[in-house]
Amino acid sequence: MTDLATGLLNQYRAQHPRARFPPLAQKLTSLRDISFDRERESVTSGHLQVSNRGFVLRLGASGNAARRNFTIAHEIGHTFFFNVERKPPSPLLLPSEMANHEIERLCNLFAVSLLLPKSTLKSLLPELNSGPISLPRIEQISRRFTVSPETLIRRIKSLGLFQNPLSFIMLAKRHGGGREPVVDIIASPLSRAVVEFDPSELFLESLSSGDGVDLTFNIRLGGQTLFVNATSKVYGRGPGRYSVACVSLPEPPNL
C-alpha cells in the first residue's frame, strides 16, 4: 500500500511540480476518478460507491480538516481494490473480503503513507529531535500536514523517526466507554531512561474541563528515579478521544 501511495504522489507531483507537497488528499481524488457527493449529512465519516464514471465519495458534513483529509485518503486507498479500467469499476475481491478488518488496516496504512510520506518526514528529523519536544511543536507539524496529532505521533513512531534523547511522548487512547485508556510511551532508542506511568491518573481528565490534567511520570535513569510532571491535552470527541503529553527530562547536574 505504501508503494501505491508513493506512486500516486509521484503522479501528482509530475503534473503539479510547484504545488504543496504532500497535497491535501482531495487534490488526488481526480487521479482515481472519484467525485464528491456532499449532500448526505447523515454519513458520519466517508462512504465510497462505484458509479458509471468511477467512484462517488459521500462525506459527512462534520469533522475537522485533519479528520476529513484522513477520511478522503483512506477512501482513495479502497479504490485500489477495484479494477478501475472497467466502468463501473469492478471489485478485485469477493464482497465478504472487501469489507474486512485487514482491508481497513491496509487503507489506513495507505492513508498515512499518502499524507505523511516517509521521504518528506525525514526532513523533520531536526525539528523532532533537537531540544525537548513540546505539544505546540507537535501541533504545528500536524497542522502543516493537515493530520491529527495522533496520526503524526503514530507515524513518526512506526518509522522510528522519534530519536529525541531529552523527551518522551505519551499517547493515551480511550476506545469508548469507561475502559482504562491504552497508553503508548513513545521514547527514543537513544534514551536509556525507563518511563513508568499510572494510567489511572488519566481518569481525572474526564472530571476536568477537557483541557487535560497534570500527570506524574516515574523516570528511571541509571540508578536514579525522577518524578517528572507534564500536562496532558485532550483531543477529539467520543470514542476517538485521546490525550497527549510531552515529557521532558530534567537536567540535574549528575544526569
Q: Which is nearer to Zn ion, 103 or 135 (CB)?
A: 103
Region near Zn ion per CB under 5 A, out of 15-23, 99-107, 147-155, 218-226 = 99-107
Nearer to Zn ion, 106 or 172 (CB): 106
CB of 103 to Zn ion, least distance (A): 7
Q: 223: burial class by Cβ within 10 Å (0-12, 13-18, 19+)? A: exposed
Stretch that binds Zn ion, among 64-72, 105-113, 159-167, 203-211 (CB under 5 A): 105-113
Q: Which stretch binds Zn ion (CB under 5 A): 97-105, 164-172, 185-193, 227-235?
A: 97-105
The span of 58-66, 104-112, 207-215, 221-229 binding Zn ion (CB under 5 A) equals 104-112
Rank residues 107 and 171 by Cβ distance to Zn ion and give the closer one.
107
- Least distance to Zn ion, CB of residue 82, Å: 13
User: Which is nearer to Zn ion, 29 or 191 (by Cβ)?
Assistant: 29
Min dist CB 107 to Zn ion, Å, is 5
- Smallest distance from Zn ion to CB 91, Å: 14
Least distance to Zn ion, CB of residue 64, Å: 19
| Closer by beta carbon to Zn ion, 73 or else 147 | 73
Residue type, 237: R
Question: Which CB, 79 or 243, lies closer to Zn ion?
Answer: 79
Minimum distance of Zn ion from residue 45's CB (angstroms): 8
What cell was used for 203? Answer: 481518569
3-class SS string, the chain? CHHHHHHHHHHHHHHCCCCCCCCCHHHHHHHHCEEEECCCCCCCCEEEEEECCEEEEEECCCCCHHHHHHHHHHHHHHHCCEECCCCCCEECCCHHHHCCHHHHHHHHHHHHHHHCCHHHHHHHHHHHHCCCCCHHHHHHHHHHHCCCHHHHHHHHHHCCCCCCCCEEEEEEECCCCCCCCEEEEEECCCCCCEEEECHHHHHHHHHCCCCCCEEEEEEEECCEEEEEEEECEEECCHHHCEEEEEEECCCCCCC
Residue 187 in contact with residue 168, Cβ under 8 Å?
Answer: yes
| C-alpha cell recorded at residue 232 | 496532558
Site for Zn ion in 12-41 (CB under 5 A): none
The smaller minimum CB distance to Zn ion, of residues 107 and 219, is found at 107
Count of residues that interact with Zn ion, criterion CB under 5 A? 2
| Minimum distance from residue 30 beta carbon to Zn ion (Å) | 20
Positions touching Zn ion (CB under 5 A) are 104, 107
